[in-house]
A and B are shown apart, each in its own frame.
Chain A
Amino acid sequence: MAFKKAPEKSNVSKEELLKFYREMLLIRRFEEKAGQLYGMGLIGGFCHLYIGQEAVVVGLEACTKEGDKRVTSYRDHGHMLACGMEANGVMAELTGREGGYSRGKGGSMHMFSREKHFYGGHGIVGAQVPIGAGLAFADKYKGNDNVTFTYFGDGAANQGQVYETYNMAQLWALPVIFVIENNHYAMGTSQQRSTGSETLFGRGLAYGIPGEQVDGMDVLAVKEAGEKAVAHCRAGKGPYILEMMTYRYRGHSMSDPAKYRTREEVEKMKSEKDAIEHVRDLLLTAGLSSDEDLKAIDKEIKEVVNASAEFAKASPEPAPAELWTDIYA
């Protein structure tokens, strides 16, 4: 995998860098806290952490406008925080409480927010891909210029329905950005062991969909690529594919011992490519922020996350009668 060295970006403002720093840090700290609560038995079932991949969703959210939509897989906590959903509501869903976004009925993999145009949270690998194209279909039908961000993994990229979707999305010029979060592993299967294709975005070319590979650990590169893709979609030119080269630091889910990769590989990514450290470096070396400034942000984020954990513990379990509600609209 060829990561570019941190590019010099003169066009990025201090405010934007700080925003990226804050948003990525929120995701990281939130996920660490979720991991702890899982260990304490307060969160159950499957819990897939986004730690390591923060730059992807934060960089792309910087390219969105009101009305744009997003849908992703079960590894969804970061996406929700980045699109403005409340840490409290997400954490309380993780603990299965009334205060959660799905009122405790969905759990880690199944949260939604119509208000923030977040359509899940999908537990079936690859199934969110046609759904994302369908959201785009509705926008095109209505004649607005909204774009849908459809996130999926390198493993999901092997599901047949992805290619059925590519074909229709291009045929009908749907305003959908397919964001492949290539973290190189699908559970214990590395990309090399699941496909003979060298790139994943390249497969879209066969359907006529343009795309590119992006350093997904560099939030500025992500944003730059995102803007290009969004412009393409908003101009009515159809779908675009962004293959984000990224990395998950933790196991696939909380119960994955992650024996399929070396500790050195993980450590190397953490020490050389970490997206948060990268922005921190940019801020400090350019003299845009001081250590104290960043410490103050760290503290503030820690408070938000701790408060969300407290909220998630204090929020009551759903009333028993909730078992029977929401089955039909």
Chain B
Amino acid sequence: MAVEVLMPALSPTMEEGTLAKWMVKEGDVVKSGQIIAEIETDKATMEFEAADEGIVGRILVAEGTSGVKVNTAIMVLVEAGESADAVVAPVAAAPVAEVATPAVAAAPAALAAAVAVVSKASADWPEGTPMKTMTVREALREAMAEEMRANPAVMLMGEEVGEYQGAYKISQGLLAEFGAKRVVDTPITEMGFTGIAVGAAWGGLNPIVEFMTFNFALQAIDHILNSAAKTNYMSGGQLGCPIVFRGANGAAARVGAQHSQDFSAWYAAIPGLKVVVPYSAADAKGLLKQAIRDPNPVIFLENEIMYGQSFEVPDLPDFTIPFGKARIWREGSDVTIVSFSIGMKYALEAADLLAKEGISAEVIDLRTLRPIDYDTVLASVQKTNRCVTVEEGFPVGSIGDHLASTIMQRAFDYLDAPVVTCTGKDVPMPYAANLEKLALVTTADVVAAVKSVCYR
């Protein structure tokens, strides 16, 4: 019986890939376990093994095709004497993925007059700056490379950052450019290498520590909090710790409770740390460069799902984005939606949907949680009189809780409705596909929250 060979999923987050190369041709005999194709995901090129045996009856997706969705039939295996036509309709062109290129935010407009606070949000680069499209992954890589070129004391340390080119390929190429002295592969010993990096920072270096994911930084939490964050204070200002702790934070896809956790609010609770939570590639780049230059310990929380997303990034030899300045992605008059990191995706999607229903939402990306740009949030709430927050983390002690309390204390009289917080659910992350969807914050949650504060 002829069988269709389907485009495989080769990583937790893969939805589509490029059929880079066929290792077999029509008419070849294939054994189970034989490598039949090379498939490129956004992270790596993988060899794809046949699970069944047979003869290659037809190749359905040509070599070099990109954007091939997982589970698309790519080949038909037949038995001797059998024709492939029985099972396949004529080949349709494989679907090609579109690159999402969100519009760049317009410069923030003048905010409502006569309010006590003034937004600090600012344009981050001059009008007319040439832009280029790049992924968050590339932006992070460029930020590190540029800062390493500029300052010989900047070095990168972590598991698989060098020879393996990074577990998520953020550090790809850095070992080749900067050598093993500055791109240091560590054993799996988070507590140890984090302490070593703190010591190195005190000794005059500017280490960037990559945690493969922030779940593993829990192994090193003592050095992050007790050694890095507190010592400038405890030493009366003598021992600052210029170090960046960066890596993937939050849920990826189906990786279960120990590997899916958003630590944003946890780190944001700690005086002595700075906490950065970029959404776009431009922010990832400008903020990471700023983080590397900052004389303090900076927690830089990336998101695995965002790594492959493309955005417009200013094509400038050097630009940074200051900490503590939110970005207004979309102006609106009926409600303020405040978010950060991947939460922005839901916030912006919700704003689009709401616009169709005649609700005008202002969408603010906090970009950093410590310092946090209260003024931009407050100025917006004074204008719209309603606020919804969006984040992936747990509800108790969330950033949304903190904002709600701040808004209540500083803008109570402006509120026409209670602040509503949209968060992940108050449960460890389940593995099952359906439960995982229920556990995460969604665009629909945000739409519903906005309608509730608008009494619609």
Contact = CB atoms under 8 A, between A and B. Distances in A.
Contacts of B253: 44-45
Interface residues of A, number: 51
B8 A40 contact: yes
A323 B425 contact: yes
A260 B167 CA distance: 13
Interface in B255-311: 255-259
A144 interface: no
Contact of A194 (B8, B187, B430): B187
B191 interface: yes
A211 interface: no
Nearest to A109: B256
Contacts of A127: 219
Contacts of B6: 39-40
A158 B189 contact: yes
Contacts of A130: none
A97 B432 contact: yes
Contact of B44 (A122, A124, A189, A255): A255
B52 to A, nearest CB: 9
Interface size class of B (residues with CB under 8 A): 35 or more
B191 A160 contact: yes
B88 interface: no
A202 interface: no
B43 interface: yes
Given A188-B164, A318-B435, A45 B191 contact: no
Chain A's interface: helix, strand, loop or mixed, by majority? Answer: loop
- Of A107, A109, A194, A317, most buried by chain B (CB within 10 Å of CB) is A107
B259 A123 contact: yes
Contacts of A79: none
Contacts of B14: 255
A155 B187 contact: yes
B431 A193 contact: no
Interface in B119-164: 159-160, 163-164
Nearest to A102: B431
B454 interface: no
Interface string B244-262: 0000000011111111000
A154 to B, nearest CB: 10
A286 interface: no
B163 A188 contact: yes
A317 B432 contact: yes
A46 B259 contact: yes
Contacts of B159: 187, 189
A255 B435 contact: no
A93 B6 CA distance: 23
A106 interface: yes
B160 A188 contact: yes
User: Do most interface residues of chain B lie in helix, strand or loop, or is the interface mixed?
Assistant: loop
Q: Identify which of B14, B185, B432 gathers the most chain A CB atoms within 10 Å of its CB.
A: B432
Contacts of B11: 254-255
Contacts of A110: 256-258, 431
A158 B187 CA distance: 6
A3 B329 CA distance: 62
Given A45-B254, A105-B431, A124-B258, A189 B185 contact: yes
Contacts of A160: 189, 191-192
B215 interface: yes
A327 interface: yes
B188 A126 contact: yes
B203 interface: no
Contacts of A45: 12, 252-256, 259, 431
B156 to A, nearest CB: 16
A257 B432 contact: no
A166 to B, nearest CB: 15
Interface string B206-236: 0000000001101100000000000000000
A102 B190 CA distance: 29
B9 interface: yes
User: Most chain-B CB neighbours within 10 Å: which of A35, A189, A318?
Assistant: A189
30 contacts: A36-B51, A38-B8, A39-B51, A41-B70, A45-B252, A93-B431, A96-B432, A96-B434, A104-B430, A107-B255, A107-B431, A110-B256, A110-B258, A123-B256, A124-B216, A124-B258, A155-B188, A159-B191, A187-B164, A189-B160, A189-B185, A189-B188, A254-B9, A255-B11, A257-B44, A257-B45, A317-B432, A317-B433, A322-B432, A323-B439
The 9 closest A-B pairs by CB, nearest first: A107-B431, A44-B254, A255-B11, A45-B254, A39-B8, A188-B164, A104-B432, A96-B432, A158-B187
Given A45-B253, A125-B188, A127-B219, 17 more contacts: A41-B70, A45-B252, A46-B12, A96-B432, A107-B254, A107-B256, A109-B259, A110-B431, A124-B215, A124-B219, A158-B188, A159-B189, A188-B160, A189-B159, A255-B12, A318-B435, A320-B435
